[in-house]
Each structure stands twice: as C-alpha cells, then as structure tokens.
Amino acid sequence: MKKLIILSILLLSFTPFLAFAGSAVLNWQACADSDLAGYKVYYGTSSRSYGYPVYAGNACTYTIDNLAEGQTYYFAVTAVDTSGNECGYSAEVSKTIEIARAGSAVLNWQACTDSDLAGYKVYYGTSSRSYDNSVQAGNACTYTIDNLAEGQTYY
C-alpha cells in the first residue's frame, strides 16, 4: 500500500443561532493500488492519539461533524485493501475549530486553482436558492458574515 498524504483540511462553522459545533472536511490524494477497498479517517484531540476510525469509503474526501469549537483536532488517514490490510497513518494534520460568534457565520472553502482567479463572492439568504445578499471575500478562503439574525436559518 502507498503512503497517503492529506492535501488539505477545510473547516466549516456555520452556526448563526447556536455556536457549539464545527465540521472538518478532509481531502487526500487517492491511493493508486488496484486492490484498494477504501479509507479510514482517524481523529482525536491529542497528537497521534486517535479514537475509533471512521470509514470513509472510496472517496478522497470526508466530513467530520459536531466538533467542539475552540478545540484542536488531529487527523490522519489510512488506506485499506480488499484483504483488510491497513497501511500506516498518513502525515498528521491539525486544525483548531473556529469559534463562531453569536449572529455570525464563519465560512471556509477550498481554494480554486484557476490561475486567473480575481477573488470570491459569497451569496447568502434566508430561503433556499434565493440568495438576496452578497459580499466580496477577496482572495482569502475564509470569510465571516456578521449581523445575522439569531434563530434564523441561512443558506
């Protein structure tokens, strides 16, 4: 089995009415082995001390929800072949879950790889597929939207 490299961690924390949990989106490079059965994601709050693995299937991305805000998490991925053999851990990465302020949403996304990228524009609203607000986020891959109504769901 080949060693995996986690390419990036994308963090989402969108809790305008309750600020208690965040999510981590992990992406990694695909394993080229023909007998690949899938991947396992390991994570925990101490370096190299993980809880039970989460089976991620054959996808090269996985979202872990309900992570405590303000807490640092450590992540690693392994590949599993069709015989059940598991390779060693990938390089470990860590991320601290951002604390969302009441009435705000912290958005993070993966960078676009287009060489002519001029920046990002974030659209949002209170109805699904009806985005009546927009903000220029510049070239950063994170943006905080403030002054959101508490108790209101945003899309």
Q: Tell me, what's the pLDDT at 11?
A: 39
79 and 15 in a single domain? The answer is yes
> For residue 154, is it within any domain?
no
> For residue 153, is it within any domain?
no
pLDDT confidence tier of residue 142, bands split at 50, 70 and 90: confident
Closest CA to 16 of 155, 131, 129, 154: 154
21 and 71 in a single domain? The answer is yes
CATH number at residue 53: 2.60.40.10
Whole-prediction pTM: 0.61
70 and 112 in a single domain? The answer is no
> For residue 67, is it within any domain?
yes
82 and 109 in a single domain? The answer is no
Q: pLDDT (tens digit, 9 = 90+) per residue, 24-49?
A: 888 888 888 889 999 999 999 999 99
Q: Tell me, what's the pLDDT at 21?
A: 55
- Do 40 and 59 form a contact (C-beta atoms < 8 A)? no
| Half-sphere exposure (Cβ direction) of 117: Cα atoms closer than 13 Å | 13
Q: pLDDT (tens digit, 9 = 90+) per residue, 55-80?
A: 999 988 888 888 888 899 999 999 99
Q: Tell me, what's the pLDDT at 42?
A: 96
Q: Tell me, what's the pLDDT at 15?
A: 31
The domain of 123 spans 105-145
42 and 14 in a single domain? The answer is yes
40 and 80 in a single domain? The answer is yes
| The token pair that represents 136 in the structure block | 């220029």
- Do 94 and 42 form a contact (C-beta atoms < 8 A)? no
How far the first Cα of the chain sits from its last, in Å, is 41
Q: Tell me, what's the pLDDT at 25?
A: 83
